[in-house]
Amino acid sequence: QSNVTIYGRLNTSLESTKVQGSSRVTQLVNNNSRIGFRGNEDLGSGLAAIFQMESGFNSDAGGGTLAGRDTWVGLKGNLGTVKLGNITSPLYYATHDYISLHNHDTGNSSDMFLWVPAYDPENFRNRNSITYASPSFGGFVVEAHYSLVNEQGTETATRNDKPYHYSLTGTYDNGPLHVGFGFGETKKFYNFAGGDSKDNALILSALYDFKSVVVGGLWERNKSDNGGLEAQTGLTGSHTRNHYRVAVMVPFGANEVHLNYGVARDWSSTNDTGAKQLTLAYNYNLSKRTKVYALWTKVDNDKQKVSTDFGGAYDGGGAYSFLSGSAAGLDNTSFGVGLRHNF
Amino acid sequence: QSNVTIYGRLNTSLESTKVQGSSRVTQLVNNNSRIGFRGNEDLGSGLAAIFQMESGFNSDAGGGTLAGRDTWVGLKGNLGTVKLGNITSPLYYATHDYISLHNHDTGNSSDMFLWVPAYDPENFRNRNSITYASPSFGGFVVEAHYSLVNEQGTETATRNDKPYHYSLTGTYDNGPLHVGFGFGETKKFYNFAGGDSKDNALILSALYDFKSVVVGGLWERNKSDNGGLEAQTGLTGSHTRNHYRVAVMVPFGANEVHLNYGVARDWSSTNDTGAKQLTLAYNYNLSKRTKVYALWTKVDNDKQKVSTDFGGAYDGGGAYSFLSGSAAGLDNTSFGVGLRHNF
Amino acid sequence: QSNVTIYGRLNTSLESTKVQGSSRVTQLVNNNSRIGFRGNEDLGSGLAAIFQMESGFNSDAGGGTLAGRDTWVGLKGNLGTVKLGNITSPLYYATHDYISLHNHDTGNSSDMFLWVPAYDPENFRNRNSITYASPSFGGFVVEAHYSLVNEQGTETATRNDKPYHYSLTGTYDNGPLHVGFGFGETKKFYNFAGGDSKDNALILSALYDFKSVVVGGLWERNKSDNGGLEAQTGLTGSHTRNHYRVAVMVPFGANEVHLNYGVARDWSSTNDTGAKQLTLAYNYNLSKRTKVYALWTKVDNDKQKVSTDFGGAYDGGGAYSFLSGSAAGLDNTSFGVGLRHNF
């Protein structure tokens, strides 16, 4: 039917994964496969109705959640775009996503240190959200995101603590240059038990396409006041952290060579709580829609290993790990090959 | 693919909702958003195979149930239409739906007093159903609906009590006039614990389109013998109730002004068990498929507040309420704005 | 959208079902209804990217699992086809499926004695699978299937026991003749508690289309070492079983008359553990895509009734039965009419 476009992606990799001290595991990995339906209707005078309903599914093992990914309805016009629904924080798309050139923060090679406070911290997505994106002013776009409390897993039983989540971002796209920055904050908003929590992130990213090489980087400053950090690691009180990341892509013909390196510094007043992550990858584009790739990624946790963020396959034990149920503070490596097909 | 049509609706509103005695809540509300797939195949001689698979999803918070809404396969011919599957009672479509002109009994402005006995009382939908609809005889159509016991949440552990659900309806559509009537009854059929229950509803509705104004109304008589009423309210024994409703729409250009008023009278032999509901709404049709709207709705419960029906956001505590977990017998109001897009 | 094809099937029957000693039940039956999305992209040089995402749903009662049926992404070229994902064992498609002419092993008339060892024994489907299918050599195709351990419900808590599942099949298709054979084995791989289990199946099938009649048959030899048989029936130790089946179809015009007969012999060293199954069916093809049918099927269990396999509506109590919760060792019959529509 002309009203609806079906789109999606299957991205499945075969990887050999090892957590320090445990046996090596050979596994299939689903890298955020999804199917969606979207459409727009021209309403005249530059106005359009737009919608999207997107569902994630496991390309390796089956199963999924209907409308579990970004699902919204909105209006787009000369004054900007408004959307209502279950929406990923623009803080992610303005910064991290732009420099995640290899596999867009999916699977084991995703940025393990990114910390976008949100109700669903693994996906930086918030229920009951309203977003406004400005039109482009010569490449510059501002976006605001606010999430209502209802149906969120707020920490508090009463509605009197006024939990909230919001983020504000600005992006500039002009030819080879991209710059993005943003700030997001939550108060008593997470999907886990906790006290009087508040978390925020301030992120600045930039990317430049030199044609023979694409270089991007970001700086992120996180603060946790009895927030997600405490719930995850037991590190109480107020702490801040800096996170740096650089991404380099060398394209030639259908080939791409990728290098990503991220450093999470120690949380303030707490030694040995940082970590480093290195990813090397090679992509071969069989077409614009289909690629095969190889990847090698390693996370080098400091001995107290509390550098963990909300992203990726967080194992609930305080340390980022590629396998669930692992003990804390261990290094992780994974390598393998994958196939990604967009439709 | 030519065989299948994708269709659906997103309907999301931003509302300020208040239950007497509790704090006001600002929320996004999903008004029965859905996506479906349907098709028909011409088999010759006026016969066609028809099917539908429809899934509801939360346009505000994500998540949904695959094939959770009307899903069936059937045959349509000169002698009528037969369908097998999970099907909404025709009793709803013949009467209530026809006069629910503003938002078709979705969200907080839906008719809180409607009582269509069914396995899934919130949606008047029955599993394992067979329906037959006659061809149109000069605008007159008869429909019969019968639901088999298997996979229903029947109240009884044994199959000897012969639980059943059926409904019979007649509708007449001719130019500006619509008349609908029907009767439905269930015995030991509900999706909750209970005794030797039986519930029924007799409904008569009519609507006339005067062009400058559309006026509709219905009368419904409900009877509960140790049935859903008891399970919901504790009101034991056999009771009957009358319910009246009127709906007025004034269209001018792309605008529609709506007024709905419903009265549920006391259940027999029990004072102060009625309620009133008033809804005022304004719709602006951006196109045939897209509208923005504003609504204000109030439910005025009598002090014993057992007027509750199965419809709407029933909170399980005996009283209809816009918010779950509210104490009984309180008034409810909600107002806000919404966006509805059909695709 | 040209990239994606929507396809699927609704198959719903109305049946009268009786288990010996219990009351007769009239029910709607869902015969493996499904909806899927698939596509392929020509990558040049005979290579193509291919994918499928298929979801089963209950055509009788609603509900379903997103991506719960075969869901994979792969590459197809001159050297064969590779797929990664949640995939039905080729052992089933090479043998049983080919001779299941009436309703393709769905619903009550499916082959109750088939035993294809797999993680999901009701559907012979394995998560995290890799399959390779050779190109056709004059009608001859070889297929290999291997399932990785992760996300399977392996019996063991540790990864040191090296659980596995694999199958190997060969098929030959040439004009009216089809021959298929295969072997599949699992070790500590099932989705239920158990000891040091191992199960395998060796199957040989053949079918010939004489035009006026189509005749097919298969022989299957099963072995269970403290495996699925023990978990299902309590029959401990190592046992083998032979299973024979014949299928006959007589087509004339739009009509088909079907006869299926299967015999499961006693498990070794254990008398009275066999069973017989007879199915008679009549199909009338309203078109290539739509049929109506009638069926009568009976399972005659020996008194110890442990002939049960993993297929069909296994009731968990050791005996195959059309209704859950039935006592063991009883005969089952079901007859009725159905409507199947492919889209």
- B261-296: pLDDT as tens digits: 999 898 898 888 888 999 999 999 999 999 999 999
Set of chain A residues whose Cβ sits within 8 Å of the Cβ of C69: 62
> Per-residue confidence at C151, pLDDT binned at 50, 70, 90?
low
Residue A97 has pLDDT above 60, yes or no: yes
CATH of the domain at C38: 2.40.160.10
C323 has pLDDT over 80: no
Residue with the bigger pLDDT between A132 and A117: it is A132
Q: Which of A201, A84, A75 is nearest to A145 (CA)?
A: A84
Side-chain half-sphere CA neighbours of A106 within 13 A: 21
Lowest mean pLDDT among A94-98, B251-255, C2-6, C154-158: C154-158
Query: What pLDDT is recorded for position A6?
Result: 96
What percent of chain A lies above the pLDDT cut of 70?
Answer: 85
Q: How confident is the model at residue B211 (pLDDT cuts 50, 70, 90)?
A: very high
What average pLDDT does the structure give for chain B?
Answer: 86
Mean pLDDT of C199-226: 94
Whether the predicted pLDDT of A312 surpasses 50: no
* Dmax (CA) of chain B: 63
Gap between the Cα atoms of C173 and A313, Å rounded = 46
| Out of B6, B66, B85, closest to residue C60 by CB | B85
Could you tell me where the beta strands, DSSP code E, fall in chain B? 5-19, 25-30, 34-44, 47-57, 64-65, 71-77, 80-88, 125-133, 140-147, 164-174, 177-187, 198-209, 214-225, 238-252, 255-264, 275-285, 290-301, 332-342
Average pLDDT over residues A212-224: 95
**Domain count along chain B:** 1
pLDDT of residue B324: 57
Q: What is the mean pLDDT of residues A185-211?
A: 82
- State pLDDT tens for residues A13-51: 999 988 887 778 888 999 999 999 999 999 999 999 999
**CB distance B333 to B20 below 8 Å:** no
Does A9 map to a domain?
Answer: no
Residue A113 has pLDDT above 70, yes or no: yes
Model confidence at A305, in pLDDT bands (50, 70, 90)?
low
pLDDT, average across residues A243-254: 97
Q: What's the average model confidence in pLDDT over A271-295?
A: 94
Residue A71 lies in a domain: no
Of how many residues is chain C composed? 343
Contacts 24+ apart (CB under 8 A), C158-167: C159/A23, C159/A25, C160/A23, C161/C187, C161/C188, C161/C196, C162/C187, C163/C187, C163/C188, C163/C189, C164/C189, C165/C117, C165/C118, C165/C119, C165/C126, C165/C189, C167/C89, C167/C90, C167/C91, C167/C116
Residue C48 near chain A (CB below 8 Å): no
Establish how many alpha carbons lie within 13 A of residue B123's alpha carbon, considering only the half-sphere containing its beta carbon: 15
Task: State how far the Cα of C93 lies from the Cα of C141, in Å rounded to an integer.
Answer: 12
- pLDDT of C225 > 50? The answer is yes
Percent of chain B with pLDDT over 90: 61
pLDDT tens by residue, C92-125: 999 999 999 999 888 888 888 887 777 766 678 8
Q: How confident is the model at residue B325 (pLDDT cuts 50, 70, 90)?
A: low
Smallest CA–CA distance, residue A118 to chain C, in Å, is 25
- pLDDT-based confidence at residue B158 (cuts at 50, 70, 90): very low
Kind of pairing between the strands at A71-77 and A64-65: unpaired
Q: Does residue A328 have a pLDDT over 80?
A: no
Q: Which residues pair with A23 in a beta bridge?
A: none
Nearest to B59 among A1, A85, A150 (CB): A85
Are B90 and B201 within 8 A, CB to CB?
Answer: no
Q: What pLDDT was estimated at residue C25?
A: 84
Within 13 Å and on the Cβ side, how many CA atoms surround B235?
A: 27
Q: Per-residue pLDDT for A317 more than 60?
A: no
pLDDT at residue C60 above 80?
A: yes
Q: Could you give phi then psi for residue C119, rounded to 5 degrees?
A: -65, -45
pLDDT at C158 over 60: no
* Closest Cα in chain C, distance from residue B92 (Å): 19
pLDDT confidence tier of residue B176, bands split at 50, 70 and 90:
very high
Contacts 24+ apart (CB under 8 A), B104-108: B104/B32, B105/B311, B105/B312, B106/B11, B106/B31, B106/B32, B107/B11, B107/B13, B107/B29, B107/B30, B107/B31, B107/B32, B107/B338, B108/B15, B108/B17, B108/B29, B108/B295, B108/B297, B108/B312, B108/B313, B108/B322, B108/B332, B108/B334
Q: How many residues does chain B have?
A: 343
State yes or no: pLDDT of B171 exceeds 90. yes
pLDDT confidence of residue B206? 98
- φ and ψ at residue B203, rounded to 5 degrees: -130, 140
- The answer to whether residue B47 neighbours chain C at the CB level (below 8 Å) is yes
Q: What confidence score (pLDDT) does residue C154 get?
A: 60
Select from B12, B108, B321 the residue whose CB has the most chain A CBs within 10 Å, as the one to mutate to test that interface.
Answer: B12
A208/chain C closest Cα distance in angstroms: 30
Banded pLDDT at B102 (limits 50, 70, 90): very high
Q: What is the pLDDT of residue A296?
A: 97
The pLDDT of residue C156 is above 70: no
Assign residue A312 a region (left: φ > 0; alpha: ψ between -120 and 50; beta: otherwise): left
Q: Regarding predicted confidence, which is higher, C85 or B199? A: C85
pLDDT at B242: 94
CA angle B304, B307, B310 (to 5 degrees): 135
User: What percentage of chain B carries pLDDT values higher than 70?
Assistant: 84
Mean pLDDT, chain C, rounded, equals 86
CB of C2 within 8 Å of a chain B CB? The answer is no
Averaged pLDDT, A74-91 = 96
pLDDT at B98 over 70: yes
Q: Does B49 touch chain A (CB under 8 A)?
A: no
C238, amino acid identity: S
Query: In which domain, by residue range, is B164 found?
Result: 5-342
In a domain, A198, yes or no: yes
> Which of C6, C55, C289 comes nearest B66 by C-beta?
C55
**Per-residue pLDDT averaged across C127-136, rounded?**
96
Q: Tell me the shortest Cα–Cα distance from A68 to chain C, in angstroms.
A: 11
Quick one: pLDDT at residue B316?
36
Domain assignment present for residue A126? The answer is yes
pLDDT band at residue A121 using 50, 70 and 90 as cut-offs: low
Q: DSSP letters along B267-311, please? A: PTT-TT--EEEEEEEEEEESSSSEEEEEEEEEEEE-TT-----SS
Residue numbers in C near B66 (CB within 8 A) = 55, 57, 63-66
Query: Which of B6, B49, B86 shows the shortest C-beta gap to C62?
Result: B86
Greater pLDDT, C275 or B172: B172
Question: How far apart (Å, rounded) are the C-alpha atoms in residues C226 and C322?
Answer: 26
- Residue A54 within a domain: no
Does the pLDDT at position B318 exceed 50?
no
